[in-house]
Amino acid sequence: MNSIIRLVNRNITISLNPGFLIWQIIFPLIYIFIVGFAYAPLIQNVPFGVKDLGYPAFLASGMIGFNIMNSTLVSGIIIWNDRRHGMFEQIMSGPFTRSHYILSNICTIGIIGLVSASLIALVGYPVFFESVEFSLITIPVIVFGAITGSILFGSLASIISTRLRSSEGFNVIINTVFLFFAFVSSAFYPADNVPEPLRTAFYLNPLTYLVDVIRAGIFGNITQFVIIEMLILVGIASVLFVIASKLLTKLDF
Amino acid sequence: MSCIDVTHLSKSYGSIKAVDDIVLSVKPGQVFGFLGPNGAGKSTTIKLLTTLIPPSNGSLTILGVDAIKNPLEIRHKIGVVLQQPSYEPTLSVEKSLDKYGMMWNVPKNERKKRMEQLLKDFDLVKIRKKRNEDLSIGQRRRVQVAREFMHDMDLLFLDEPTVGLDPSARRKLLDYLKNKVKTGLTIFYTTHILTEAEYLCDEIAIIDKGKIITVDSPEALKNKFGKEKTIKIHLLEKTPKISNLLEGIPDCKINFESGTNIVIHSEQSELVLLKILKILNDNNIEIEDLSAIPINLEEIFLKMVRKN
């Protein structure tokens, strides 16, 4: 078996614990079915391209991007745990290179991101069923979003994990950054209706682009702006990936 | 051919030389002990030998392979138990062993077989379902060492593997290692516990301040540096004048403890003892007990490090 596949196998085994599964499934369900329907009377229809989406459908599609971002926390947690519990050094003294380690982390977050996106798409499907517009590019766009988003947020989590040693520091920073990403984005509410300068802040946040791309795929609204958003996502993901790889390569024992 | 061949190896961190121009050769099928005080450069040397860090200077050949050019090839053939604990907190003991074997590409059936054997050999059967994070330090250490035997290797690096183990587990591990060496395994072993080194090692190197002070077998080291013996004499009764009587005996250092105990350090212990016994006899001083203690490795180690 290939070295990277073996490390991915190990990464998935250590990541799949009950706490993580609850975080990945129960949390989005609460958002989609409780928050979505509770807020529906307050936010009645959300204009999206030529369509008007119900709030639960808007939120459920946003939760796919949100869940991809959350699942990529795994990458940071794996690296941080490996460093804290001596496994990074142990793996590096075994039949692996740093490139194997980095690529296995990327593959792991890609897989977890895809599974997570599919899961929420399945769970949220009854909610956005009426507005879905399937086309040839629906699935590829969602897959694109899942992979790019995983690399982007996974790299970010990896960068944070390489810089911090204490568990308190790691938890505080990662939760603050990801909380900012979650709520200063169009995952929960449309960007068009929020006041300035919050609206500008929305577009400084890659999660907004990720959520926009996934929504465009689901509801069939691939515009020129969405293509620009896709390019921006690729650009940010590439830069963060390079930085994360460099930091991991330089990581001291 | 040597298992490890090190020539003029150095590692510097800025102006600090952690390892300074060391030369080493480890023969196959032996346990090579690597001793030194804290901060002497032991762990840095292990990191260099296991290809975790590159050297600043020198050449390094492990199992006939150039470690600087082909580190990955070497890492396929060695096992490493590092000083710091390493474990996956959420995995159970048996899952840890199994996954570690999987990482080393050991086939599933073979993994199962080895795992069962190691669980028995390292007294882990009762805790096989326990998660690593719930284990005691000693149990975790046992898992860490056992895990390394899930895969095949020609050379094993053990960096203070008995830290946290109770005396019985420690002895079991040493015996386990001795048996493994009989099957052809070579071990590079660092420790602070010198009785361990004496029990296990065929050859010993002492490192201090990044430099190797000496390399030899434990017996040869004792012969080379251990001419000095300690003689303890316990007198039957308190004899206040004893220090005056023994004053002036050459080639020895005498300490008097509580008027009944005499401790003599000398490289010519036999001659000195004869002189002391004659004086005691002439003065009708009775002896209750007499013992001669040969120098041990710990004393040699301390002596050498102090001298360095």
Q: Are strands B155-159 and B186-191 parallel, antiparallel or unpaired?
A: parallel
Indicate the CATH number for domain B4-224: 3.40.50.300
- Our CA dihedral for B102, B107, B108, B114, rounded to 10 degrees, sits at -80
CA A142, CA A32: separation in Å to the nearest integer? Answer: 18
* pTM for this model (two decimals): 0.80
CB-based contact B47 A17, cutoff 8 Å: no
CB-based contact B88 A81, cutoff 8 Å: yes
Q: What is the pLDDT of residues A92-133, one digit of tens each?
A: 999 999 889 988 988 888 888 888 878 887 877 777 766 677
Domain boundaries, given as residue ranges, for chain B: 4-224, 228-307
Q: Does A97 touch chain B (CB under 8 A)?
A: yes
- Distance from the Cα of B106 to chain A's closest Cα (Å) equals 10
Burial class (CB in 10 A: 0-12, 13-18, 19+), A177: middle
Backbone angles phi, psi at A125, to 5 degrees: -55, -45
Architecture label for domain B228-307: 2-Layer Sandwich (3.30)
Mean pLDDT of A47-56: 78
| Range in A56-60, B139-143, B205-209 with the lowest mean pLDDT | A56-60
Mean pLDDT comparison of A59-73, A182-196, B72-86, B267-281, highest-scoring range:
B72-86
Question: How high is the pLDDT of residue B110?
Answer: 96
Q: What is the pLDDT of residues B170-204, one digit of tens each?
A: 999 999 999 999 999 999 999 877 788 889 999 99
Question: How high is the pLDDT of residue A1?
Answer: 61
H-state helical runs in chain A: 3-15, 18-29, 36-39, 55-71, 73-84, 87-92, 98-128, 138-163, 167-183, 198-202, 206-219, 224-250
Q: Does A235 touch chain B (CB under 8 A)?
A: no
Q: Shortest CB distance from B47 goes to which of A7, A96, A253?
A: A253
